[in-house]
Amino acid sequence: MSTTTNHSLNALRRRRSLRTSWRWDSGHTLLPAAIPSHRRQRWIAQQKRMIFWGLFAFILLQLALGWGIENEISLRDPEYHQLERTLRERLAENPHKDLLLFVGSSRFTNGIDARRLNEHPEWGHYLVFNFGIPTAGPTLERIMIDRLLDRDIVPKIIYLEVLLTHLNAGPQQQLDQKMIDAARLSYSELRFACESGFAEDTQGSTNARSWETSRNSHRSADVPSSHRSGNARSSLWGQWLSSRLLPMRRHQKELHDFIALDAPSSGAYFSDASSSDTPSSDAKQMERADHHDDYGTRMRNVLIHTPEQMKALALRQYGRYLESFAVAQGPYYRLLQTIELCRQRGIEVVLVVMPEGQEFREGGGTEIIQKREAFIERIRREANVPLIDARHWCVNDDFYDGHHLSVQGAARFTARLSQEPPSYQKARKP
Residue 341 lies in a domain: yes
Per-residue confidence (pLDDT) for residue 422, from 0 to 100: 82
Mean pLDDT, range 354-376, rounded to an integer: 89
pLDDT band at 234 (very low <50, low <70, confident <90, very high): confident
* Percent of the chain topping pLDDT 90: 31
Answer with the residue of higher pLDDT: 301 or 327.
Answer: 327
Q: Each residue of 394-418: pLDDT tens digit?
A: 998 888 888 889 888 999 999 999 9
Domain of 329, CATH number, reads 3.40.50.1110
Amino acid identity, position 404: H
Give the whole-angstrom CA distance, residue 336 versus residue 339. Answer: 5
Residue 93 lies in a domain: yes
The SS3 assignment for 3 reads helix
Residues near 203 by Cβ (< 8 Å), separated by ≥ 6?
Answer: 215, 216, 218, 219, 222, 224, 329
Cα dihedral angle (172, 174, 179, 182), rounded to 10 degrees? -100
Q: Each residue of 196-229: pLDDT tens digit?
A: 444 444 433 334 444 333 333 333 334 444 445 5
- In the predicted structure, residue 110 carries a pLDDT above the cut 50: yes
Residue 183 lies in a domain: no
Per-residue confidence (pLDDT) for residue 263, from 0 to 100: 43
Residue 160 lies in a domain: yes
Residue 205 lies in a domain: no
Q: Each residue of 50-67: pLDDT tens digit?
A: 998 888 888 888 788 778
Q: What share of the chain is helix, strand, coil (3-state, %, to 5)?
A: 60, 5, 35
Average per-residue pLDDT for the chain? 76
Amino acid identity, position 343: R
pLDDT band at 265 (very low <50, low <70, confident <90, very high): very low
Per-residue confidence (pLDDT) for residue 118, from 0 to 100: 94
Mean pLDDT, range 361-377, rounded to an integer: 89
Per-residue confidence (pLDDT) for residue 199, from 0 to 100: 43
Tell me which residue range forms the domain holding 89: 79-176+282-427
- In the predicted structure, residue 369 carries a pLDDT above the cut 50: yes
Per-residue confidence (pLDDT) for residue 66, from 0 to 100: 78
- In the predicted structure, residue 326 carries a pLDDT above the cut 60: yes
- In the predicted structure, residue 274 carries a pLDDT above the cut 60: no
Per-residue confidence (pLDDT) for residue 100, from 0 to 100: 96
Per-residue confidence (pLDDT) for residue 25, from 0 to 100: 47
CA 69 to chain centroid: 16
Nearest to 135 by CA among 183, 195, 70: 183
CA 350 to chain centroid: 23
Per-residue confidence (pLDDT) for residue 305, from 0 to 100: 55
Mean pLDDT, range 172-178, rounded to an integer: 77
Residues near 252 by Cβ (< 8 Å), separated by ≥ 6?
Answer: none
Mean pLDDT, range 328-337, rounded to an integer: 90
- String of DSSP letters for 93-147: H-TTSEEEEEE-SHHHHHH--HHHHHTSTTGGGEEEEE---TT--HHHHHHHHHH
pLDDT band at 256 (very low <50, low <70, confident <90, very high): low
Residue 391 lies in a domain: yes
Residue 169 lies in a domain: yes
The SS3 assignment for 345 reads coil
* Percent of the chain topping pLDDT 70: 69
Check if the beta carbon of residue 331 is closer than 8 Å to that of residue 139: yes
Domains identified in the chain, total number? 1
List Cα–Cα distances, 126 to 8, 299, 333, in angstroms. 100, 22, 30
